[in-house]
Amino acid sequence: MRGQGRKESLSDSRDLDGSYDQLTGHPPGPTKKALKQRFLQLLPCCGPQALPSVSENSVEDDFELSTVCHRPEGLEQLQEQTKFTRKELQVLYRGFKNECPSGIVSEENFKQIYSQFFPQGDSSTYATFLFNAFDTNHDGSVNFEDFVAGLSVILRGTIDDRLNWAFNLYDLNKDGCITKEEMLDIMKSIYDMMGKYTYPALREEAPREHVESFFQKMDRNKDGVVTIEEFIESCQKDENIMRSMQLFDNVI
Amino acid sequence: MAAGVAAWLPFARAAAIGWMPVANCPMPLAPTDKNKRQDELIVLNVSGRRFETWRTTLERYPDTLLGSTEKEFFFNEDTKEYFFDRDPEVFRCVLNFYRTGKLHYPRYECISAYDDELAFYGILPEIIGDCCYEEYKDRKRENAERLQDDLDSENNQESMPSLSFRQTMWRAFENPHTSTMALVFYYVTGFFIAVSVITNVVETVPCGTVPGSKELPCGERYSVAFFCLDTACVMIFTVEYLLRLFAAPSRYRFIRSVMSIIDVVAIMPYYIGLVMTNNEDVSGAFVTLRVFRVFRIFKFSRHSQGLRILGYTLKSCASELGFLLFSLTMAIIIFATVMFYAEKGSSASKFTSIPASFWYTIVTMTTLGYGDMVPKTIAGKIFGSICSLSGVLVIALPVPVIVSNFSRIYHQNQRADKRRAQKKARLARIRVAKTGSSNAYLHSKRNGLLNEALELMGTPEEAHVGKTTSLIESQHHHLLHCLEKTTVSPSPATPTPPPPLSGFRTHILKLVQLQKSKSVPFRVKSSEEAPEEWAVTEVGPALPCSALRPHPTLHPSHGPFSVTEAKGSACQSPSSNGQISRSCYGPQRRISGGPTLVLGDAL
């Protein structure tokens, strides 16, 4: 017959086995609260005023969260704090607000936006690291000020600032030094973004080898960790890295 | 990548800072933005309604009209905005597509208007968002069906002169309204089908007694009469079948079709009966074969649209009918088993076995209740009542689906018929309008003398007074006129519209001489002309119109206007016999400049 809206639930027999309620799609069986409520309603003594607190709290919470709207500080303050011009800030905010009408980006949202640029691979891990780097006050969300502050450093900062920011990105636990494990995580996330179907195919041990060569280059005193001074010093000596840092001058 | 996320590309590029320090090889050069403009607002004026948006919003989709340089064709320099002479309501949806990346289809909009607008703006309808896609597809399908219906009916109605005899015959069979013969044939076959069915029925009615024997059915009493009737009917049916077989475009397909099988089954018993004489062994089988004669009633489905719709409905509801059958079978088996075991105890029970209980269950579930099998135990009665109640439900469930299907198909058919009738009326009105306009052309040709004379005077007021037709119409008439001139043969024996008055002719001559002194609107290089080129010939219809033959050196894309220019003729002889003809210039006169509508203006 036509009109099969819920194709999954009608075409199999999960309902009959008691694991799926066909109409609502949730596991069947009323919750304890609702049962108690219904029972009490059946009794003639209790009027409809019984148990108003049994109402669904979670729905209201969700509703509140979605109506929370974060507004950034004024344009002038942002202009002072960052190195963007007024027009650039306007353009950035328009794009930001389009994707995140509530004014803040959650980690999920961030990952989803970032993954649209890398359809062939899995960019979620790298996006998490980025999110943690942008979220300077570690409150679980990135608002427009954080966003613009990060972009200002990367796109308009000095080379030292940029290297600082990159170090901050690599340092996952923010303790001031990069260990081999942290670097391995970062490397794996970058290789994940490439996806599985590259040619020639990326080998399993490629990230590890890459980490080894990185540490060989960066770790001056061979103590197994890379501190910020070692990092900046080594990067300044490397021609390629210096040149690549200049790529960010013309992004906006 | 969605349009809205394109705004986050700078962020994605900035996030690449994480790759730089770990990269082993140098990075490629970044693409530069050659014409780095500040983002600006552009104004889109659509039939007076102004929409404004950022330039970058539109440039998200560079392969559409608004996103590419194609919109520069619509740029209005005076008002510095882009003007589109299109529907503003649909433009709202189009612009929202650029803004949000999702194309929506408004329900109140006509599907073909919407499709036209999308095609104009270069947007493929396939990217309509999921929310509106189903609605769009439904409406599109309905529209396609409507167009197909129109096309079919058009094909049926157009008279193709070069049809072979076989094809005409097939068309006559399929559609009895094409010719009178077909209609006659249609009614004759219908009549004989009815006769055949009635004889089959009446044959078996007891007809009164012949003294000395028992009561006989009519068939045996008047066997000769009935045999003759049967023979006549079968002959007609056979002839019809053979004719259809001959006329069918694909005989193999025709033989396999349902109606042909019914035809064959309807006439076979007669022939088999002829072949077999009164052989006692097979006469029993022969009698059974006579049952098939009742299939002749199905031949009526060619004559009745309602019957065809019913058959089509049943075919399209096959799944519902199958479900009904299946559920009924399940219920029958369940209840039959239950009743059997419930009634097992009682003595002299009719429920001797489960299959025997099937009959009881069927009769009860369909609420027939013959009463030949009745439960006697209490348990049996309880289960029997449950059985009858559930029967009502099981049968009532799929029936509305079948009914609604039938209703939908029936109404669709009615709508198709109504549309065809409306279309006929509409075409008739269009025909009247067309003949009206061509009458207007002939009328204006006669009056063309008057108009051109007035034009020559050069004063705009009098020219306007003479103008009874609009500019477009007059240009159209000029075009037809030029075509006439192109194709008319140089021989003088052409029929003429009513000749102008002689006084009028002298008036024209005077006007022509007047014209020489003024600047001629239809001559481009007035300085080069010599007065004697205005030689007016009073007779001699041949000369002027040869100029309208296309000049070989001319670019082929120029229209008739430039052709006449190049030949240098301002040949505007008002009538084809060239009574008044300003003769041509020298044939080698070349006019520079593009194909200007000089002649058109002059007309």
Q: Do B39 and A87 touch (CB under 8 A)?
A: yes
Say yes or no: A100 contacts chain B, CB-CB below 8 A: no
pLDDT digits (tens, 9 = 90+) for B109-163: 999 999 999 999 999 888 888 899 989 998 998 889 888 877 776 776 665 666 7
Q: Given CB atoms, is A131 within the 8 Å cutoff of chain B? A: no
What predicted TM-score, i.e. pTM, was given to this entire model? 0.53
Rounded CA gap, B508 and B534, in Å?
13
Q: How far is A247 from chain B (nearest CA, A)?
A: 6
Three-state secondary structure of A62-100? HHHHHHCCCCCCCHHHHHHHCCCCHHHHHHHHHHHHHHC
Q: What are phi and psi of B73, to 5 degrees?
A: -65, -20
Instruction: Say yes or no: B1 contacts chain A, CB-CB below 8 A.
Output: yes
Residue B448: pLDDT over 80: no
Residue from B1, B9, B13, B17 whose CB has the most chain A CBs within 10 Å, to mutate: B17
B80: left (phi over 0), alpha (psi -120 to 50) or beta: left
Structure tokens at B380: 């049996």
- What confidence tier does B561 reach under pLDDT thresholds 50, 70, 90? very low
CATH assignment of A73-156?
Answer: 1.10.238.10
Contacts of B30 in chain A (CB under 8 A): 247, 250-251
Task: Examine domains A73-156 and A159-251 and report if their fold is the same.
Answer: yes
- Name the residue ranges covered by the structural domains of chain B: 41-156, 165-303, 311-429
pLDDT confidence of residue B510: 54
The answer to whether residue B104 scores a pLDDT higher than 60 is yes
Sign of the CA dihedral A49, A50, A51, A56?
negative
Tell which CATH classification among 2.40.50.140, 3.30.710.10, 1.10.357.10, 2.40.50.660 matches the domain B41-156.
Answer: 3.30.710.10
Output the six-digit token pair for A2. 């036509």
Q: Is the ipTM of this complex over 0.95?
A: no
- Please state, in angstroms and as integers, the Cα–Cα distance from residue B201 to each residue in B59, B169, B195, B295, B321, following that order: 79, 33, 10, 13, 31
Which residues, at least 6 apart from B175, have a Cβ–Cβ distance to it below 8 Å? Answer: B156, B182
| Partner residue opposite A166 with nearest CB, options B1, B21, B26 | B21
Q: What percent of chain B has pLDDT over 90?
A: 22
For domain A159-251, the question of CATH label 3.40.50.300 is answered with no
CB-CB neighbors (< 8 A) of B7 in chain A: 91, 94-96, 98-99
pLDDT in tens, A104-138: 888 898 898 888 888 888 889 999 999 999 988 88
Inspect the interface and report whether the beta carbons of A130 and B18 lie closer than 8 Å.
yes
Q: Where are the domains of chain A?
A: 73-156, 159-251
Domain B165-303 in CATH 3.40.50.720? The answer is no
Q: What is the pLDDT of residue B92?
A: 93
> Tens place of pLDDT for every residue, chain A, 252 residues?
444 444 444 555 655 666 656 566 666 555 566 677 677 766 665 544 444 444 444 555 555 555 567 787 788 888 888 888 888 888 888 888 888 888 888 889 889 888 888 888 888 999 999 999 998 888 888 888 889 999 999 988 898 999 999 999 998 888 888 888 888 999 888 888 887 777 777 777 888 888 888 888 888 888 888 889 988 898 888 888 888 888 888 777
What percent of chain B has a predicted confidence (pLDDT) above 70? 70
**pLDDT value at position A33?**
61
Q: Which chain A positions have a beta carbon within 8 Å of B13's beta carbon?
A: 248, 251
How much is the pLDDT for B477?
78
In CATH, which of 3.50.50.60, 1.10.287.70, 3.40.50.1000, 3.20.20.70 is domain B311-429? 1.10.287.70
| Helix, strand or coil, per DSSP, at residue A182 | helix
Q: Does pLDDT of B272 surpass 80?
A: yes
